[in-house]
């Protein structure tokens, strides 16, 4: 009996050994993941962010409160379960709710007036699985808590753009909008409902439900007919309160000052109820209508989750979509961890000695693998090549007797015999 992967998931495995023709797609290749994650961490570091890791499940109620009952994610997509102890838990569908819950639980505001947090991890949504949309997907994201100035909104968008550019993804579109405050949204919602009501008969069932439960979400619809029907709907930014309008104008000004091209998208409301003021999304043509990443400001969320009134802003970006984009754009495949040396022991004495020779080299900081299989020299040299090793170290009975090794540089095929004690120094170069 063999077991398959659950629908909408995939395995991430080591890269195909060097020299093999078949290539693995970037999303399946662990070297590609490590590269993207490490670029994300290092770009975040330059903006002063520190890492946070939270549980992959939280109380179900957290997501109902934070993300919102009327959102598609909570209404249709969460993985909910009851534990043996009777607790109602949910696999996290997004990163912000858990990060804010942790900010409140750990009282981070006491140590950091402004907390700049980054996270990387899996999220779970019961969606119709397809390329770029999975049931387990991974997001890298950031949250800034304690700062309400518009320059922070621009800084966060700048961080996201810098990250994509650092990976070589240049051709991106930044879309921004403002969803105002809860109060200013109320008058917009009246206008939106008045506009949509006569058209409801022609809208999708989902949008009929949204009209009743959470009308703003109608603008999220991916249904082509809904999109066309809502084409001339009133615009949110015409209903903003003065402070939100000023905030939005300043965000746009900062983006211009930073040299980040952007578009104002009046239909952009994002799939969560917690957003206030700035909402943004980043797209790349190769992904079609699927966003590379998105985020926004949430000035009420910390308080809503039991913390002190604290403004916040963040974004999340899908790592799978980053990898798909890199591959579609033909960007070079990030290479895996290449070996410095591959040990080729010939004969029992050499095989016995190989473990401690390799151990000494590893203690000197070198990455070393060994042939464990007693293969012939030719096969061992092929293994060394496949591992991308710089050197093959050949040891036979003679070398053991004289405490030496034959070191072959694989790129040039040049070979020399040196004392074992000088091996690490030679390989380090």
Give the binding site for ligand AMP (CB under 6 A): 94, 125, 127, 132-134, 137, 139, 270-271, 291-294, 316-318, 320-321
52 vs 317, beta carbon nearer ligand AMP: 317
Question: What residues pair up with 407 in beta bridges, in sequence order?
Answer: 393, 416
293 vs 336, beta carbon nearer ligand AMP: 293
Q: Which residue is nearest to ligand AMP (CB)?
A: 318
76 vs 428, beta carbon nearer ligand AMP: 76
Question: Dihedrals φ, ψ of 337, to 5°?
Answer: -70, 110
281 vs 371, beta carbon nearer ligand AMP: 281
121 vs 234, beta carbon nearer ligand AMP: 121
Q: Which of 384, 386, 385, 353 is nearest to 371 (CA)?
A: 384
Supply 199's token pair. Answer: 């058209």
125 vs 408, beta carbon nearer ligand AMP: 125
- The CA distance from 120 to 98, in Å, is 12
Output the DSSP codes for 251-309. Answer: HHHHHHHTT--EEE-TT---S-TT--SEEEEEEEGGGTTS-SEEEEE-SSHHHHTTS-S
In residues, how long is the chain?
429
Q: How far is the CB of 140 from ligand AMP (least distance, A)?
A: 9
Q: Which of 141, 114, 62 is nearest to 310 (CA)?
A: 114
- The CA distance from 26 to 322, in Å, is 10
Supply 355's token pair. Answer: 């473990």
287 vs 400, beta carbon nearer ligand AMP: 287
Task: Find where tokens 């290749």 sit.
Answer: 29
CB neighbours (10 Å) of residue 223?
15
């Amino acid at each position: 009996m063999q077991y398959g992967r659950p629908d909408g998931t995939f395995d991430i495995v080591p890269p195909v050994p060097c020299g093999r023709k078949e290539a693995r797609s970037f999303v399946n290749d662990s070297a590609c993941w490590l590269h993207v994650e490490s670029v994300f961490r290092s770009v975040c570091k330059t903006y002063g962010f520190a890492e946070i890791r939270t549980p992959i499940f939280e109380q179900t109620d957290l997501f109902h409160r934070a993300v919102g009952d009327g959102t598609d994610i909570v209404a249709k997509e969460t993985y909910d379960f009851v534990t043996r102890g009777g607790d109602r838990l949910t696999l996290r569908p997004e990163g912000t709710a858990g990060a804010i819950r942790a900010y409140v639980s750990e009282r981070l505001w006491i140590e950091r007036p402004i907390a700049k947090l980054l996270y990387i991890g899996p999220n779970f949504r019961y969606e119709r699985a397809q390329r770029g949309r999975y049931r387990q997907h991974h997001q890298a994201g950031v949250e800034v808590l304690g700062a309400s100035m518009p320059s922070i909104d621009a800084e966060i968008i700048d961080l996201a753009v810098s990250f994509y550019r650092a990976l070589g993804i240049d051709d991106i579109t930044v879309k921004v909008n403002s969803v105002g405050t809860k109060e200013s949204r109320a008058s917009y919602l009246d206008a939106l409902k008045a506009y949509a009501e006569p058209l409801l008969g022609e809208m999708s069932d989902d949008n009929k439900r949204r009209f009743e439960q959470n009308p703003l979400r109608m603008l999220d619809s991916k249904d082509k007919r809904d999109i066309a029907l809502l084409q001339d709907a009133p615009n949110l930014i015409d209903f903003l309160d003065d402070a939100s309008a000023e905030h939005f104008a300043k965000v746009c000004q900062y983006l211009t000052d930073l040299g980040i091209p952007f578009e104002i998208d009046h239909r952009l409301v994002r799939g969560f109820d917690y957003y206030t003021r700035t909402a943004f999304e980043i797209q790349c043509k190769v992904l079609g209508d699927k966003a590379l990443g998105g985020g926004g400001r949430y000035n009420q969320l910390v308080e809503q989750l039991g913390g002190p009134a604290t403004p916040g802003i963040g974004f999340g970006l899908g790592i799978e979509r980053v990898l798909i984009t890199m591959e579609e754009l033909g960007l070079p495949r990030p290479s895996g961890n290449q070996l410095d040396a591959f040990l080729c022991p010939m004969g029992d004495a050499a095989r016995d000695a190989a473990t401690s020779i390799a151990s000494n080299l590893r203690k000197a900081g070198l990455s070393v693998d060994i042939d464990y299989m007693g293969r012939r020299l030719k096969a061992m040299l092929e293994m060394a090549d496949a591992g991308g090793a710089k050197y093959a170290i050949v040891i036979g009975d003679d070398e053991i007797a004289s405490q030496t090794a034959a070191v072959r540089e694989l790129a040039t095929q040049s070979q020399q015999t040196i004392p074992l004690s000088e091996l690490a120094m030679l390989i380090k170069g």
